[in-house]
């Protein structure tokens, strides 16, 4: 379906350009033209589904660069705990009883919530199974995503087989909506030799299934807590000087295709290594605060010129996929910590949530900004709301005042996925009922194993 959006304020995220009373022309999956409504209507008088976006703002869809989508099924199960206790005593024991159906249903819920929050691309790390997985869920809903399989030292053979299946079945499939990543869980759960093996496997998978324009990337948790160095040394009987990125660099596994989530406990040398290797950072301020992991030295990272994007983290460590709340929190957090109101201004954090996110996922040739030749991934935000009035600056309102309920319509890959806040591919209320049943079945299996 060809679409013409008209009478909108369009925030392109290209060269700081905002088009007032603007229009976007979409044919098939791509944006073919953008400009003033009067000019566009004259050039394209007929043959398009017309969307009147008067009093609305069009933005590139948000890009969430760190998620565990299936974990929406665990939302609220365990809260107010330190990271190691949260993972080892609560989350991992319950996850042992999750099957493919559970993963699929949890990812469906996250996909729905993401779209309703204006997110059009999600980078997710979880367990892949062929009989139910996150790729299936994203493809069904129409959400763009990078689907990873999380790797641990205790299941090397299984991981390698699974990664091959994932890449073969899903990389660059579903009209290019789905890509794949290799996901070492963290430096303290993946031993040095296996880390090197996974880097070599990534190259092999790219040779078979990837391309320069659509690469298979890396996705890893790094430097999430202060004690990570001690955890690595204890787990693998290794000793090293300096920070976690210095350690990873010594293994030869860093590169421009690496998305490093969290990056809280860093040395100055770590940040220099990140810049030299062109590592991309997924900043997760809300989950880091909730788990009391600490606060990333983001101003220093940005000052060095490292690419930084945003991640919500999982729906049970955040506990939602609200990118509006996340970008506002990020901006306010660093202003307050460093007592500098000029840090992370509205335009910069919006950029981090869109085009910088696309760069982080090696997808910026196709998404992240609104311009001819790029994929039509966008959100239409209704500004006819009391909390968005009066209007002086659209970007300011998006970062400091707007919320998910203001997202009116979402288009991904040129297809309307949500219209007037109604998802077109799924009955949301039936899904919620299914999620509750799935949760009860999961808890029953946990209880049976304990008895």
Give the pLDDT of residue 231.
96
**CA distances to 65, 216, 247, 371 from 209, in Å:** 22, 8, 29, 28
Give the pLDDT of residue 445.
93
Cα–Cα distance measured from residue 369 to residue 24, given in angstroms and rounded to the nearest whole number: 12
The three-class DSSP label of residue 106 is: helix
The string of pLDDT tens digits covering residues 229-264 is 999 999 999 999 999 999 999 999 999 999 999 999
Cα–Cα distance measured from residue 98 to residue 446, given in angstroms and rounded to the nearest whole number: 9
Cα–Cα distance measured from residue 159 to residue 127, given in angstroms and rounded to the nearest whole number: 9
Q: Is the peptide bond before 319 cis (omega within 30 degrees of 0)?
A: yes
3-state helix, strand, coil in the chain (%, to 5): 40, 25, 35
Give the pLDDT of residue 450.
77
- What is the CATH T-level fold of the domain 3-60+374-423, as seen in this structure? Urease, subunit C; domain 1 (2.30.40)
**CA distances to 147, 263, 438 from 143, in Å:** 11, 27, 22
Residue entry with tokens 């995503």: 145
350 within 8 A of 104, measured Cβ to Cβ:
no
Give the pLDDT of residue 324.
98
The three-class DSSP label of residue 1 is: coil
221 within 8 A of 262, measured Cβ to Cβ:
yes
CATH number for the domain whose boundaries are 62-360: 3.20.20.140
Give the pLDDT of residue 82.
84
CATH 2.30.40.10 in the chain: give the residue spans: 3-60+374-423
Give the pLDDT of residue 150.
98
Structure tokens at 432: 């919620």
**CA distances to 181, 192, 251 from 237, in Å:** 28, 10, 15
Cα–Cα distance measured from residue 67 to residue 272, given in angstroms and rounded to the nearest whole number: 26
Cα–Cα distance measured from residue 411 to residue 65, given in angstroms and rounded to the nearest whole number: 19
Rounded to two decimals, the pTM is 0.97
Q: Report the sign of the C-alpha dihedral through residues 314, 316, 317, 318, in that order.
A: positive
Q: Helix H segments across 291-417?
A: 298-303, 323-338, 346-352, 355-360, 394-400
Structure tokens at 311: 């991640």
CATH 3.20.20.140 in the chain: give the residue spans: 62-360
Residues (pLDDT < 50) of the chain are none
CA torsion angle 396 423 95 198 (round to 10): -70
Give the pLDDT of residue 84.
82
Give the pLDDT of residue 148.
98
Q: Which of 79, 66, 127 shows the shortest CA–CA distance to 100?
A: 127
Cα–Cα distance measured from residue 109 to residue 126, given in angstroms and rounded to the nearest whole number: 15
């Amino acid at each position: 379906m060809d679409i013409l959006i008209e009478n909108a304020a369009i925030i392109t995220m290209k060269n700081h350009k905002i088009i007032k009373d603007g229009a976007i022309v979409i044919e098939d999956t791509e944006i073919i033209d953008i400009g003033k409504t009067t000019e566009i209507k004259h050039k394209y008088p007929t043959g398009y589904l017309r969307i009147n976006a008067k009093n609305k703002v069009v933005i590139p869809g948000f890009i969430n660069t760190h998620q565990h989508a299936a974990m929406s099924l665990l939302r609220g199960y365990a809260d107010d705990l330190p990271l190691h206790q949260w993972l080892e005593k609560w989350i991992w024991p319950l996850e042992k009883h999750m099957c493919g159906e559970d993963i699929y249903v949890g990812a469906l819920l996250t996909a729905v919530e993401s779209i309703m929050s204006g997110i059009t691309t999600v980078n997710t790390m979880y367990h892949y199974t062929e009989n139910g997985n996150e790729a299936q869920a994203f493809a069904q809903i129409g959400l763009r995503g990078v689907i990873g399989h999380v790797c641990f030292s205790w299941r090397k053979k299984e991981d390698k087989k699974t990664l091959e299946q994932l890449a073969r079945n899903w990389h660059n499939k579903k009209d290019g909506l789905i890509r794949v990543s290799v996901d070492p869980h963290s430096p303290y759960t993946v031993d040095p030799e296996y880390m090197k093996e996974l880097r070599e496997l990534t190259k092999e998978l790219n040779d078979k299934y990837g391309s320069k324009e659509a690469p298979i990337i890396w996705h890893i948790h790094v430097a999430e807590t202060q004690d990570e160095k001690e955890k690595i040394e204890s787990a693998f009987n290794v000793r090293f000087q300096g920070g976690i990125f210095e350690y990873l660099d010594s293994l030869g596994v860093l590169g421009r295709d690496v998305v490093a989530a969290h990056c809280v406990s860093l040395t100055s040398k770590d940040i220099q290594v990140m810049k030299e290797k062109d590592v991309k950072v997924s900043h997760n301020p809300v989950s880091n605060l909730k788990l009391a992991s600490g606060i990333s030295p983001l101003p220093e990272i940005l000052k060095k010129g490292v690419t930084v994007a945003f991640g919500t983290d999982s729906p049970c460590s955040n506990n939602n996929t609200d990118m509006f709340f996340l970008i506002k929190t990020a901006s306010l957090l660093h202003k307050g910590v460093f007592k500098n109101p000029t840090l992370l201004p509205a335009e910069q954090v919006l950029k981090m949530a869109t085009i910088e996110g696309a760069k982080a996922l090696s997808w910026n040739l196709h998404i992240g900004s609104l311009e001819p030749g790029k994929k039509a991934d966008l959100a239409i935000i209704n500004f006819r709301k009391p909390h968005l009035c009066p209007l002086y600056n659209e970007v300011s309102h998006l970062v400091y005042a707007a919320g998910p309920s203001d997202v009116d319509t979402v288009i991904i890959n040129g297809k309307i996925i949500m219209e007037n806040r109604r998802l077109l591919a799924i009955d949301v209320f039936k899904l919620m009922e299914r999620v509750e049943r799935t949760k009860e079945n999961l808890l029953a299996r946990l209880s049976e194993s304990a008895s």
